[in-house]
Amino acid sequence: MLQNINRLGKSWVGRVVVTILFGFLIMSFAIWGIGDIFRGGVRTQVATVAGRDITAESYRQAYQNEYQNLIRRARQSITPDQARALGLDRQVLARLVTEAALDDRAQKLGLAVPDALVVGAIQDDPSFKGPSGQFDRALFTDTLRSSGVTEGQYVRDQKSVAARLQIAEAVSGALPVPLAMREAVHRYQTEKRAAEYALLTPAAAGDIPAPDEAQLKSFFEERKALYRAPEYRAVGLLVLDAASLAKPDAVSDADARAAYERLKDSRFGTSERRTVEQIVFPTVEEANAASARIKAGTPFAEIAKERNVDAGTLSLGTVTRSEILDPAVAEAAFRLADNGVSDTVAGRFGPVLVHVTAIQPGAVRPYEAVAAEVKTELATERARAEVQRIHDEIEDQRAAAKPLDQIATERGIPLRRIASLDRQGRDKAGQLVTTVPDPQAVVPALFRAEVGADTEALRLPDGSYVWYDVTGIEPARDRTLDEVRDRVSAEWRTEEVAKRLADRAKALREAVEGGASFESVAAQVGGAVARADDLTRTGTGGPLPRPVVTRIFATPTGKVADAASDDGRVLFRVTAATVPPYVTTTQEAERVAEQLRQALADDLLGEYFAMVEKEIGVQTYPDAMRRAIGGDS
């Protein structure tokens, strides 16, 4: 667009047109923009709960916090569009509405939390305890400052949280879990089944002639949407990243060797590992006495046996230095010779004697084998400092309406041209296009843009930038039968085989139900009878695929049924179903009961929250939500 305006403004006719165009634009701002001022401006709240407003700013802040938490949990780039597709915007608003509703209910119930209780909770919070294990005032202040929260705000928030918890405890605390529910879960988790089965392979479907034109056309027309060609786009990408700017040949051997020396132990070698044992003593005197006995010839194992040291406490395993949590023990262990025993060590948990029973030496790859890798990493690291500067220069060129391909040529950065790309990042052959960086972020942006439109650069999580131009759009369309004839023919045959196997399995099932033996029925299709024992709902089914196992657990004992499998169809009969006795006092039973109790509490609280919100009145404003966080809500 800027390029077109720039070209248009070079002639006197174009300058007149541009002047008129911008005149209309200014008038529209005057009419509509000033009108908003007289009408009181845009809405500043995203919801109203019991007459109280949830402001757009508080909603925006809460959304951004949840958005960043989502990215950290996913450990990958998530675009704002993807976050909204997951319903993050609605989840955040629902939480704010629920909190506001509970605050209103707490106020009406007269619930109050003493300041002393809140202060005690803050002082007991592990987040605010220093190295001594006591409340650290400076750490508390620094944490609040980094979060942009004042002490008064934090205390008020904690009082609100405490009041909400009182309501939640009153509604859902100490819920009993019905015995029938616990037994049902026990049965579901522990039931085992056995079955005999026979496999009906595609050969059991018999000879299937090729479909005629009418059959093929009918099959295609009924499933035409499945064969529809997606929208394809032709695009150009200018990718600015440290890797493209890096110049490994410019890195000197001296710099590369210095980096190698810093990294060789952690990056280019395997650390030394040692098999370590330890005995912790109550006092230094006892440790010294044991050390003297070992030096006099008493085996380390004999001392451990006398002190009743169990194997789990005695052995630290075969570990690297960094894997030993106690630095003093680590230092002693990696100073000893093979089969050596240390003097008394002042360990973190008391006086310790350390014994090394085996040593696995470390190995380091030589500099010559990794020189190219080190130089590439150094060059890439140095280039990162240039990325932002070049980004700003390219933005200036884009603002001056310079075409992307010209910028790429001047900068010496290859322009990645992609002839066809669909919304899944695939080309017309169905192959993933590997020249698109971070497809989850870039591809959706490509499909939001228009041909020739100005677009903003995308900043990717690794610090790189992507500029893009859409140069062509091939709309989605219905393919003709001739275009997909081979695919349609293959899928017609697959479906025909599945139908015939289902009909054959039904006839065999009816034969067994009529009195025929399972073995004789299986022999009709050339299948040997096999058996599967100890099948569980949650475990693997051995040779049987998961859908078949699921079907086995849905079939009564002694009954015959069938289910589709990757190799054809499986005819089976359930021969046994066993459930171990339910014992309520086991650790597993208590864990399941607690999970059920939490699920019941969540359901009850959800119903209570819905009732409260209905009683006090909640009004949400989707347009304000959209303006607060951008995009469609």
Question: Comparing 348-357, 468-477, 535-544, which segment has the lowest mean pLDDT?
Answer: 535-544
Lowest-pLDDT range of 169-173, 309-313, 497-501: 309-313
pLDDT digits (tens, 9 = 90+) for 441-450: 899 999 999 9
Backbone conformation region of residue 571, classed left if phi is above 0, alpha if psi is from -120 to 50, else beta: beta
Q: What is the CATH number that goes with domain 192-225+484-578?
A: 3.10.50
| Chain mean pLDDT for the chain | 85
Cα gap 166→116, rounded to integer Å? 16
Question: To 5 degrees, how large is the angle CA 404–CA 410–CA 416?
Answer: 45
Cβ proximity of 446 and 421 under 8 Å: yes
Q: How far is CA 72 from the centre of its chain?
A: 9
Percent of the chain residues topping a pLDDT of 90 = 39
In the predicted structure, residue 38 carries a pLDDT above the cut 50: no
pLDDT tens figures, 83-137: 888 888 888 888 888 888 888 888 888 887 777 787 888 888 888 877 777 777 7
| Neighbouring C-beta atoms of residue 21, cutoff 10 Å | 12
- CATH number corresponding to 46-173+615-629: 1.10.4030.10
Q: Which of 164, 174, 53 is nearest to 109 (CA)?
A: 164
> What are the DSSP E strand ranges found in 436-508?
458-459, 465-474
Domain boundaries defined on the chain: 2-38, 46-173+615-629, 192-225+484-578, 232-250+369-474, 272-361
Q: Classify 110 as helix, strand or coil.
A: coil
pLDDT at 631: 58
Predicted confidence (pLDDT) at residue 416 exceeds the cutoff of 50: yes
Which pTM was predicted? 0.56
Burial class (CB in 10 A: 0-12, 13-18, 19+), 426: middle
Rounded-to-integer distance, Cα 2 and Cα 452, Å: 10
- CA dist 242 and 388 (Å) reads 10
Higher pLDDT among residues 31 and 53, named by residue: 53
Q: Which residues contact 586 (CB under 8 A, 6 or more apart)?
A: none
Tokens of 420: 């066809």
Domain 232-250+369-474 has CATH 3.10.50: yes
CATH of 272-361, one of 3.10.50.40, 3.40.50.720, 3.80.30.20, 3.40.190.10: 3.10.50.40
Residues 339 and 362: their CA atoms lie apart, in Å, by: 18
Q: Which residues pair with 562 in a beta bridge?
A: 571
Question: Is 404 in contact with 467 (CB distance < 8 Å)?
Answer: yes
Nearest Cα residue to 281 out of 354, 333, 356, 350? 350
pLDDT at 386 over 70: yes
Task: Identify the sign of the CA torsion 211, 217, 221, 227.
Answer: positive
Of the candidates 336, 350, 335, 330, the residue with the CA atom closest to the CA atom of residue 290: 350
What is the predicted pLDDT for the residue at 489? 95
The DSSP code for 135 is B
Same topology, domains 192-225+484-578 and 272-361? Answer is: yes
Q: What integer pLDDT is reported at residue 299 of this predicted model? A: 92
Looking from the CA of 505 toward its CB, the CA atoms found within 13 Å total 24
